[in-house]
Chains A and B, each alone.
Chain A
């Protein structure tokens, strides 16, 4: 089965994937600031952020309205809107687009919720194949430690509480995110993930990432990539310092 559109664009799509607490957002932020300092136009698209859909997702989560199927479909709707408006047009214009989570998040999460693997891959067939997909590999314990240290509580759906795996939210998180890690691991070959050891220091990870981007995007001969004189804040993207706060 063909997954993703094979259309070619002058721009380049870079995505980061991994479970919550893997540090992918920090790395993406550092990467996009570096790319911009090199003079490239960079746009940013975040999972679950479509202005048309986001509020509905929030309400559905709050009222516990989702089944695995509708949870999958509402995220695909959000993604479709971002593809049509935030991702595809800039890629056609020659921009670098950085996506914090992409269709792979849906493949991993929805499958972990019991949705058919085949069906969810078909659902996202309109997605654009990324130039680079980074996967931040981290153990459950490390991720859990980072999340519990940084936020007030584990969220209901992120912990897979809707699946009634356990009454204990931490236990449920372990089981559910454990399944997600298995799905990610199985996708490494299928989608040619660039695996980053997310237990390395932030600086070491960033050095590896920049080297991969430099080579894959051939930044010294960036044919078709849009140059941007603009060095101001990125659209909606928090700085690395903000993410670590």
Chain B
């Protein structure tokens, strides 16, 4: 079973929730799809890491065959190709590896070569499998890395997918095969606005989902109001708690280092499991 943890903005507590749920779940899997800045490994400190480089295809031109028709440059939506002084210039960093230039070239002057854009690291931390995707700085997209992580995940283990923030393509790729989505939200107006964005995304994808209200206080909570208004299931309230913040900022896993938090996250996991099974019943 795949549970994706996502949020409209960064810093709401996706990694806090994913890491702690994976830790209390036992014999589970944690996949960090936030490839632009993966940080789950800081908490799990995995060992026995196996590293695999990830490459994409980028075009190379055979200048002897190029007749300067510029069909490739005109085709490219990202403007990764330009034609200047009888020569094709290719911008590797701008290319999104769609392969279109190869297809439209009437002279078969363009072929493809591999370009390394990042890597995946697969390790273990106690009984939790910890996988991380890492995108090199300056690359156009981390989607090939996320694809690799999720394609390789064939175990039937309870898996927690720590998604990138926002609602862009990389998030869609991360939740594509999720059985359930957990949206983590902050008690601010900005937080509620961004919660609305991910709410629209998971609704569009037809995914069952619930919300965790993190940094919860007694005060006015626009994200909670939003959930009530849209009739969204609130899975848990994680308090705005100095002790929890302190454990986390020291890169420790709260549910492993403190019984109180172990109970908090075990309860959240239980609630999610119940939600998933009731969804399964509803949809069968």
A and B: real partners? no
